[in-house]
């Protein structure tokens, strides 16, 4: 039996989960790297001082400087450059800022790539009914070449089960969806060959609508199914009656 649409939903959820698992660690690593770089830049150039035991060794004899002959003010020594004004520290700050900027740009680039890949996956795997309902040429589908003849008894049982589902399900939308899914399963079980590029819906239209005079009913039922399941249509009893009429026309064609 055909189970392609539930598996497609599972693949879509798995693709979303993989994208989230890739994006979150990348953002966390980038944020941690940026915090470390800013902390290093704020701390500045490390200063090292000699310990009490690392100073120059004292000689055995102390040298007493000669007393100045006349009192004079000590010579003025030029002020030393503060560490904040050091050119080396400035260069290091620029280098760290450049590294942080490069890390942010790299994170933005890879994050954008992941986002685009995620959006492309959503667009590729979007539900069929969110697109415009394809206008299927019933005459072309009926006249298509078949590899094998479908089993008529299987098709008749599937149509009867779809009619019973339409009548017994309390919610009109659920009954329409379940009836069409039952037809897809019956078409798959009938033994006819399915084309490599055929979707389950196209295959069902070709197999169920092969009899004279019922192709239009099959296409109408497919359009109603797609609008209810994927297009957000809130089915009512009128839609249930339309689907039931289509199924009865299909049943009459397969007698």
Domain boundaries, the chain: 9-46+85-126, 133-253
Indicate the DSSP class of residue 211.
S
How confident is the model at residue 149, as a pLDDT?
Answer: 79
Q: How many CB atoms lie within 10 A of CB 240?
A: 20
Question: How far is Cα 153 from Cα 25, in angstroms, rounded to an integer?
Answer: 56
Question: How far is Cα 214 from Cα 187, in angstroms, rounded to an integer?
Answer: 15
Mutual angle of helices 215-229 and 237-253, in 10-degree steps: 150
Q: Which is it for the CA torsion 218, 219, 220, 222, positive or negative? A: positive
How confident is the model at residue 127, as a pLDDT?
Answer: 61
How confident is the model at residue 139, as a pLDDT?
Answer: 46
pLDDT in tens, the chain (255 residues): 444 444 545 555 665 666 666 666 677 677 767 666 666 665 555 555 555 554 444 444 555 555 555 555 555 555 555 555 577 778 888 888 888 888 888 888 888 888 888 888 777 766 654 444 444 544 445 445 455 678 889 999 999 999 999 988 899 999 999 999 999 999 888 877 777 788 888 888 888 888 888 989 999 999 999 999 898 888 899 999 999 999 999 999 888
3-state secondary structure of 41: helix
3-state secondary structure of 118: helix
Q: Which two tokens stand for residue 46?
A: 């490390």
Q: Which two tokens stand for residue 245?
A: 């009429």
Question: How far is Cα 21 from Cα 114, in angstroms, rounded to an integer?
Answer: 11
φ, ψ dihedrals at 125, nearest 5°: -100, 20
How confident is the model at residue 29, as a pLDDT?
Answer: 74
How confident is the model at residue 181, as a pLDDT?
Answer: 93
Question: For residue 169, what are the CA distances in angstroms to 137, 162, 165, 179, 243?
Answer: 31, 11, 6, 10, 13
How confident is the model at residue 129, as a pLDDT?
Answer: 45
């Amino acid at each position: 039996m055909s189970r392609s649409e539930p598996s497609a939903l599972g693949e879509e959820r798995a693709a979303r989960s993989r994208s989230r698992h890739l994006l979150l660690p990348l953002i966390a690593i980038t944020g941690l790297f940026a915090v470390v770089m800013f902390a290093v830049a704020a701390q500045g150039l490390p200063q090292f001082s000699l310990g009490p035991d690392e100073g120059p060794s004292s000689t055995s004899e102390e040298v007493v400087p000669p007393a100045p002959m006349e009192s004079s003010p000590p010579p003025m020594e030029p002020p030393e450059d503060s560490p904040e004004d050091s050119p080396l520290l400035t260069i290091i700050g620029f280098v760290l800022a450049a590294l942080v900027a490069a890390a942010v740009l790299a994170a933005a680039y890879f994050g954008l790539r992941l986002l685009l890949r995620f959006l492309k996956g959503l667009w590729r795997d979007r539900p069929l009914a969110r697109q415009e309902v394809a206008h299927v040429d019933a005459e072309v589908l009926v006249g298509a070449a078949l590899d094998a003849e479908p089993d008529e008894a299987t098709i008749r049982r599937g149509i009867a089960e779809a009619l019973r589902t339409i009548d017994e399900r309390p919610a009109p939308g659920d009954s329409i969806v379940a009836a069409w899914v039952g037809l897809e399963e019956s078409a798959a079980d009938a033994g006819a060959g399915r084309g490599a590029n055929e979707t389950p819906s196209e295959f069902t239209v070709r197999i169920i609508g092969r009899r004279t005079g019922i192709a239009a009913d099959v296409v109408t039922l497919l359009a109603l199914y797609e609008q209810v399941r994927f297009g957000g249509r809130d089915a009512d009893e009128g839609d249930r009656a339309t689907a039931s009429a289509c199924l009865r026309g299909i049943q009459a064609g397969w007698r």
